[in-house]
Amino acid sequence: MKRLLASLSCVLLFACSSDKNLAGASTVETENACIINVVNINSKPAANVVARIRPLWYVEGVSSNSAVTQNNIQDATLEVAADSLGNIVMDSINFDKGYIEIIDGNSGVFQAIASSDLKKNKLTTMQMEELGSVTGKAALPEGTDYAWVQIYGTDKIVKTNKDGEFTLDSLPPASYQIRAILPDEQATIGEASITISAGEKSDIQALAKPTLENEQLEQWAHVRTIPLDSTISDWMKPIAETTVVFVRLNETNFDFSEAMDNGNDIRFTDQSGNRLAFKRAFWNSTTPDTPQSAEFQIRIDGSSSVENLEMYWGKTAALDASASNDIWASLPDSLVKAIHSITLIDFENQKLESAFDYGDGPREWYFHPQDTNVTTTPSSENIQDAFESSKERGGYVFHWKSTSKTRGKWSMIGSRVSRVPSSLEGIDSIAFYAKGKGELGFAVEVLNEPTGKTKYVDYLDSTWKRFCFTPSDFVEGDGEFGNMGWDFVKPRVTTFTIWIVDESEMWIDDVILYGVNRDNFN
């Protein structure tokens, strides 16, 4: 994300004072407005100075070619000019908390400002003081020539030298939060809290390495409340004491331009601000001609009383807070299987149909040869004969033979599992049990235009074997016979097919997808 785009949806109006006879007040109408009286170092009114008010999360932007650019976050900076008596009158502000900055010549003031403070119905005085400066050093990664150093709540940004050294000057006395980021805005390499004294030059030595524990979520531009119930489908209820819930984003419910290109800035807390462990299953915001989408898996511990999730986004150069598979640690296997896998088909009802209800009923599977050159036993007209009871598998399996007059011909079972294309980018693996002889294949397809598929190919053994493969095991896309590869197929899957080729025979059972659940098909 090269620039944050503000989504400041609410304007807070402050009814701060109804007294028109405040000392030093201007002739400006002050009914239902707040007044800040700014005075110079000599305690005289700071006439006509300009105050710039920015949210806590504001930092000046950096372009992709490492040149300083104006951060054009809509409505992020409010500019208000003082009158001849140094009075600044405000009747609205576009954010809850921020900073007010006033610089005039060699003096200035920088203070935190909040809507709650402005509502105290008081006349506030701000004293200008002599400006100060600070020097420091950021540890540059090997091969990096420089970094940018930014100050939150200001438009100040400086470029380090090749040794990571920098100077920030013309700073009003105050406490500041600063950070150093790489030129592409994808990573923060140092941060610090600094205090500037009037007329003095400080040295903070080296910036500290950023950590997730020291993050301040007030520095994120956007937050959304997500009721926990909205993340839990009816088929998942009743939920376990400790479980994992899913948040899925797409172009209709999320503006991906407001987040980092890789989704590193996403965070989740409960309604009380307690951090929640989560895993970013996938994030797709930049692939050309592919719908933007993402999925997050959030762990909810049984000891907590979570009612709402708070999702934060909108911070450049954020650390990656996505956890590993630890979010599933210690959960019962039965729970993980129930909410994080799908049995596509298990043949137990001796019907060629899906093993679960998609919400509007199970999906039918089909069985047919490629063309008249292929003969199957049983035939597609006698499909019921293909269901066999297996002691080894402890239930019913599907069994057929395939013969062909010419080489390279196949017979198959398959199903259009989704009426509309579905994103299955979060798939961890696909598994099934099979035995027999000959070559087998498994394809994931898109039958909506533009069509294409990706495929996995292996060979059958005479004894039962568990075949398990991940997306990296699919044949690389080469365009031959519609093989476009996994990256082409994964955001809009419609169909699964399983086939055997030439003189082959296969028994198959329990086709399972891991890393997704039935909501991925809705």
Tokens matching residue 493: 């899957």
Closest CA to 188 of 65, 316, 281, 285: 316
Intrachain domains 12-130 and 133-210 with the same fold = yes
State the Rg of the chain over Cα.
31
Instruction: Dihedral sign for Cα 224, 8, 99, 68, please.
Output: positive
What local confidence, expressed as pLDDT, does residue 238 receive?
A: 78
Across residues 11-31, what is the average pLDDT? 32
What local confidence, expressed as pLDDT, does residue 347 receive?
A: 97
Q: Residues 298, 431, 279, CA angle at the centre, nearest 5°?
A: 15
Closest CA to 275 of 322, 235, 242, 234: 322
List Cβ neighbours of 418 (8 Å cut-off, separation of 6 or more): 493, 494, 521
Cβ atoms 505, 436 nearer than 8 A: yes
Other Cβ atoms within 10 Å of 174 Cβ, number? 19
What local confidence, expressed as pLDDT, does residue 120 receive?
A: 57
Across residues 386-410, what is the average pLDDT? 96
- Which one of 231-245, 346-360, 387-401 scores highest in mean pLDDT? 387-401
How many Cα atoms are found within 13 Å in the side-chain-facing hemisphere of 278? 28
Tokens matching residue 430: 């696909």
Beta strands 201-206 and 132-137 are parallel
Question: For the CA atoms of 80, 83, 85, 87, what is the dihedral angle to 10 degrees?
Answer: -30
Helix, strand, or coil (residue 476): coil
What local confidence, expressed as pLDDT, does residue 93 receive?
A: 75
**Residue owning tokens 């009380």:** 272
Q: Is 482 left (phi over 0), alpha (psi -120 to 50) or beta?
A: left
What local confidence, expressed as pLDDT, does residue 116 receive?
A: 72
Burial track 134-169 (b if 16+ CB lie within 10 A, e otherwise):
bebbbebeeebebbbbbbbbbbbbbebeeebebebe
Q: What is the DSSP letter of 508?
A: E
Tokens matching residue 32: 């239902």
Closest CA to 243 of 261, 252, 231: 231
Superfamily of domain 12-130: Carboxypeptidase-like, regulatory domain (2.60.40.1120)
pLDDT digit string, tens, across residues 483-520: 999 999 998 899 999 999 999 999 999 999 999 988 88
Q: Residue 360: pLDDT band by 50, 70, 90 thresholds?
A: confident
Distance CA 363, CA 413 (A): 13
List Cβ neighbours of 253 (8 Å cut-off, separation of 6 or more): none
List Cβ neighbours of 242 (8 Å cut-off, separation of 6 or more): 299, 300, 301, 302, 330, 331
Across residues 307-333, what is the average pLDDT? 90
List Cβ neighbours of 260 (8 Å cut-off, separation of 6 or more): 1, 186, 315, 316, 317, 318
Predicted structure pTM score: 0.83
At 166, which amino acid appears? F
Q: Residue 324: pLDDT band by 50, 70, 90 thresholds?
A: low
Distance CA 506, CA 397 (A): 10
Distance CA 257, CA 380 (A): 50
Domain spans of the chain, in order of start: 12-130, 133-210, 218-331, 340-521
Across residues 240-263, what is the average pLDDT? 92
Cβ atoms 108, 169 nearer than 8 A: no
In the predicted structure, residue 64 carries a pLDDT above the cut 60: no
Is the model more confident about 60 or about 239? 60
Q: Residue 77: pLDDT band by 50, 70, 90 thresholds?
A: confident
Burial track 439-475 (b if 16+ CB lie within 10 A, e otherwise):
ebbbbbbbeeeeebbbbbeeebeeeeeebeeebeebb
Maximal C-alpha separation, the chain: 102
Across residues 311-337, what is the average pLDDT? 89
CATH T-level assignment (fold) for domain 133-210: Immunoglobulin-like (2.60.40)
**What does the mean pLDDT of the chain come to?**
87
Helix, strand, or coil (residue 453): strand
What local confidence, expressed as pLDDT, does residue 121 receive?
A: 58
Stretch among 114-118, 340-344, 359-363 having the lowest mean pLDDT: 114-118
Tokens matching residue 460: 């059958």
List Cβ neighbours of 145 (8 Å cut-off, separation of 6 or more): 162
Percent of the chain surpassing pLDDT 90: 70
Cβ atoms 369, 402 nearer than 8 A: yes
In the predicted structure, residue 27 carries a pLDDT above the cut 50: no
CA 345 to chain centroid, in Å, comes to 32
Tokens matching residue 231: 């993340």
Edge-to-edge, what's the strand order for the sheet holding 124-127?
A: 87-90, 34-39, 124-127
Distance CA 169, CA 178 (A): 13
pLDDT digit string, tens, across residues 148-183: 999 999 999 999 999 999 999 999 999 999 999 998
What local confidence, expressed as pLDDT, does residue 29 receive?
A: 43
Distance CA 415, CA 498 (A): 9
CATH T-level assignment (fold) for domain 340-521: Jelly Rolls (2.60.120)
